[in-house]
Structure 1
Amino acid sequence: MRRIGSALLAASLLAGCGGSEVEPSSQPLVQQQAPLTTTDVDVAPECQGILGFVNTASFQKLDAYLPSDVATNLVNRRAASSFVSLADVSSVALVGPARLQQLAGGARTEGFIGSSCVGIMDGLALSSDDAAAIVSLVNTLSDSELHDVLPYAWNGAVNLLNLRPFTSAQDISNVAGIGDVSLRNIRNSATLSRPFEALVNAVNAQPQDNYNATMARHFDWWQVVTTNGTYHQPSLECFGLEPSSVPYGATVRPYLADAAEVRGVVNGAVSVANRFNGIPSGVISAGLANLDARTAGRSFKGCYMSYANDPWSGHSVAIFVDTVNGFSLMTDTYWAE
C-alpha cells in the first residue's frame, strides 16, 4: 500500500506477513497453512481433451510427441487407472512441465482440444475464458487484495504490480515469483466465485433508498477501513491482524470469523437489498451455495465498522478476508432518516 509507504507492509495487515496469527480453536493450524485444496481442479472443462489424449491415444501416437520411455510409462500407468488430472499425469516417472507441454501440443494437433483451451501454464490447463479472467483480475486488483491472494509469493505480487498491465495469462505465468500455487490462487480468485459475484451485482442493482445494502467481492479493504466516515466513526473492531498493524482507533477481537459468521452477515445484507423481492431466487440460491463452497472450513480476518457522513444517516460495514487464499467480501448496510 503506497498510502503507508510500503506495498509489502500494507499487504501484511491482513495477510499476516511476519507476525503471529490468532487461529480458531476448531481448526488445526496445519490445515490453515495448506496452499491448495482437494477441490482445486487443474484442468478446465475446455481442456479435458488433454486427459482424453493421454488416456486413449495409442503408444505409437504418444510416441510421436514424447520420448519412447515416457510414452511407455504413461501407457503402463493408465492400464491400472485412467488419468484424472494434470497432477496425476505428472506423478508418472519422467513426466515434468516440458512433457506436459508436449502432451498438450499433441492433444491440439490430434483434435482433442481447440482454441477454447489456451494450454498449460504452471500446472494448470486454462480455458480462454479463465485466461481472460486472470488477466483482468491481475490488472485491476488493489495491492492489498493481490497480496492477500498471494500470501506465499510476496515478491511475485510486487512484480505483478510493477509490470502490469498484462495482455496474456502466459505473461503473468512468466513473471518471476509466480509458480504453480500462485497462478492457481489467482485463477481461483478470478473464476471460482462467479455465482456469488452475480449475487453481489444483483444486490447492488436494487433500488437505493433510505434503507439499503450493497456488497463487494473485489475491493481495497485498507482504503475502506481508513478513509470512510467524514462525519464520525463511532466503532471499528478488527480481528486477525497483527497487533502493530491494527488501524488507529480500532478494538481487537481475539478470534477469527468462520463460515457461519460470514454467511450470517451476507444473509442480512441480501435480505435488506431484496426486501421488495427484486432479486431472482435462482441468483440468490446459486450465489449463497457458491459462498458456502468458498467459505466452508475456512477462517477469516477482517473488520466491523460503522460510520456516518452526517448526523442523519449511517453505514454498517463488514469485511472478511480468508487467512490463506485471500477470498474477500464486504457488506455495507445504509440507513437514513
Structure 2
Amino acid sequence: MLRRLSSTLLAASMFAGCGGIETEPSAETVAPASIQDQQAPILTTTDVDVAPECQGILTFVNTSTYATLDQFLPSNVVTNLVNRRATAPFTSLADLSSVPLVGETRLKQIEGGARTRDFIDADCTGIFDGIAISHDDAAAIVSLVNTIDDSELHDVLPDAWNGAANLLNLRPFTSAQAISNVAGIGDVSFRNIRNSATLSRPFEALAAALNAIPSNGSYGAVLQRHFDWWEVVTANHPYSRGGPTCFGLEPSSVPYGATIRPNLANAAEVRAEVNSTLAYVNASSKIPAGVISAGLANLDARIAGRSFKGCIFSYADDPWSSHSAAIFVDTVNGFSVLSETWWAE
C-alpha cells in the first residue's frame, strides 16, 4: 500500500509552490507506485479524510508542476492551487476544498490525475462524498452496510434517516460507489459509515477474544460492538427482573416498563462497564496483554468526550441464572458497546 507523504516529500512540495524554476519530483523523492509498505495498517484507523493508501492524491497536488496539473484541471483552478501551496502543503481533502473553485468535480479530476500519473493505484479506491478511501476501507464499508441491523444503522446515521432507509431497502451492495450514490447519503453520513466500519477494529478484536473464552458453565461475559440494541433490550425473558433503566432515548424508543434516567452516560461510565466485564472473567490472564491494551486504547479514543444513550438491565431465562447487561450508543455517530455478564447455579 502506498505511503508517499514523507517529510522529504513535504519539503519538496513546499519548494514546488515557491518561486524559482518548478520541476517534477525526482525518482528519489516520489517512490514508484509499485513500491508497497507492508507494515502499514490495512484499514484507515483514524477519522481522517484521506486514507493512507490515497495520500498520493495530496502528493500529486503538492509536487506536480503547473503544466502537469493543467492537463487535468482548468487553468484558474491550477493557479489557485499553486498559489495556496506556496504557503503550506495540502494536508487533507478539506484543505484542498477550501481553495476557491475546488469542489467535488475538481477533487475527482485531481484523483484522476493522481491515478494517471501513478501517484495512487488500486489500493486507493477513490474519493466519495468528501473522503478518499482505500480498497480495504471500501470492502469494510460494503460489508457493514450489507449486514448492519436496522437500529444500529439509524444510530450511525442520526441525521440521515431517509438515507438509512434507502440503504436498507436497496442492499445488498457490491461497491462503495453504489452506497455513495444512494439518495440521502452525503459527506457526513458516508464518513460516519466509514468510521463505523473501520475505526474500532482493535476493540472488536478484544471483544472477540473475550467472547472466545471457554465458559465453565457457571459464569461468563460477552462484549459486542455491532448489535441490534432494540432487540436486545426488548427480548422476552420468562424471568425478567423488571424493566430496564434507560437514558437519552427518544420517547418512541423507550422500552415498555423502563425507568428513565435523566443523565446520559459518559466515557468514564462506558470504560468502567467494559473494565468490569473483563475483570468478571479474569480476562487479563486469558487474553494476550497486547490485545487488551490495544482494544482499550482504541475504546478510549472512540469514547473520549462523547455522550451515550442506552439502557442498563438484568434478566433471567430460568430461576437458576441471571444476566446483567449494559448498552451504550453514541448519540451522534452511533458507536455502540454491549457488555453482559451472567451466572448460573
Given the two structures, how large is their TM-score scaled by the length of structure 1? 0.87
Q: In the alignment, which residue of structure 1 is the partner of 2:142?
A: 135
In the alignment, what sits opposite 1:269?
277
1:59 aligns with 2:97: no
Q: Check if 1:252 corresponds to 2:260.
A: yes
Match of 2:167 among 136, 148, 160: 160
1:171 to 159, 166, 178: 178
Contact 1:240/1:255, CA 8 A, preserved across alignment? yes
User: For residue 93 of structure 1, what is the aligned residue in structure 2?
Assistant: 100
User: In structure 2, what is the equivalent of residue 237 of structure 1?
Assistant: 245
- SS, match of residue 329 in structure 2: strand
Query: Which among 291, 302, 307 is matched to residue 299 of structure 2?
Result: 291
Q: 1:187 maps to which residue? A: 194
Match of 1:302 among 307, 310, 318: 310
Partner of residue 331 from structure 1, selected from 317, 339, 343: 339
Q: Deviations over 1:145-172 (max 9, x none)?
A: 0000001101101100100000000000
Deviations 1:96-127 (A, max 9, x none): 11111111111111111111000000111000
Structure 2: stretches of 5+ with no match in the other structure: 1-45
Say whether residues 1:322 and 2:330 are aligned partners.
yes
1:75 aligns with 2:82: yes
Q: What runs of 5+ residues in structure 1 fail to find an aligned partner? A: 1-38
How far has the Cα of 1:244 moved from its partner? Answer: 4.6
1:233 is paired with a residue of what secondary structure? coil
Partner of 2:30: none
Question: Which structure is higher in RCO with an 8 Å CA cutoff and minimum separation 6?
Answer: 1
| Distance of 1:262 and 1:116 partners within structure 2 | 35
Report the AA paired with residue 330 of structure 1.
L
Q: CA deviation at 1:208?
A: 1.3
Residue-by-residue CA offset, 1:29-50 (whole Å, 9 max, x unaligned): xxxxxxxxxx631000000000
Q: 1:233: how far off?
A: 3.0
Q: Do the aligned partners of residues 225 and 253 (structure 1) sit closer, same or farther apart at CA in structure 2, a change above 3 Å counting?
A: same
The one-letter code matched in structure 2 to 1:168 is: S
SS at match of 1:248: coil
Please report how far the alpha carbon of residue 241 of structure 1 lies from its aligned counterpart in structure 2 after TM superposition.
1.4
Report the residue type matching 1:81 in the other structure: A
Aligned equivalents of 1:64, 1:230: Cα separation in 2:
70
Contact 1:214/1:273 (CA < 8 Å) preserved in 2? no
Instruction: Give the residue type in structure 2 aligned to 1:271.
Output: A
3-state SS, counterpart of residue 319 of structure 1: strand
Amino acid at match of 2:60: F
Q: CA deviation at 1:232?
A: 2.5
Contact 1:139/1:164 (8 A) holds in 2: yes
Q: Which amino acid aligns with 2:325?
A: V
TM-score using structure 2 length:
0.85
The 1-side partners of 2:103 and 2:284 are apart by 56
Query: By how many angstroms is 1:211 displaced?
Result: 1.4
Instruction: Please tell me the residue identity of whatever aligns with 2:76.
Output: D
- Give the letter for the 1:216 counterpart: Q
Secondary structure of residue in 2 paired with 1:331: strand
- 3-state secondary structure, aligned to 1:223: helix
Any idea what SS the aligned residue of 2:341 has? strand
Structure 2 residue aligned with 1:106: 113
Shift of residue 274 of structure 1? Answer: 3.3
Identity of aligned residues (%): 72
Query: Residue 249 of structure 1: CA displacement?
Result: 1.4
Give secondary structure in 1 for the equivalent of 2:172.
coil
Distance 1:148 1:159 in 2: 15
Distance change (3 Å), C-alpha of 1:214 and 1:176: same
CA deviation after TM superposition for structure 1 residue 327, in Å? 0.4
Partner Cα distance (1:235, 1:306) in 2: 8
Classify 1:47/1:229 alpha carbon distance in 2 versus 1 (closer, same or farther; 3 Å).
same
Give the CA deviation at 1:275: 4.5
Q: Indicate the SS of the match to 1:232.
A: coil
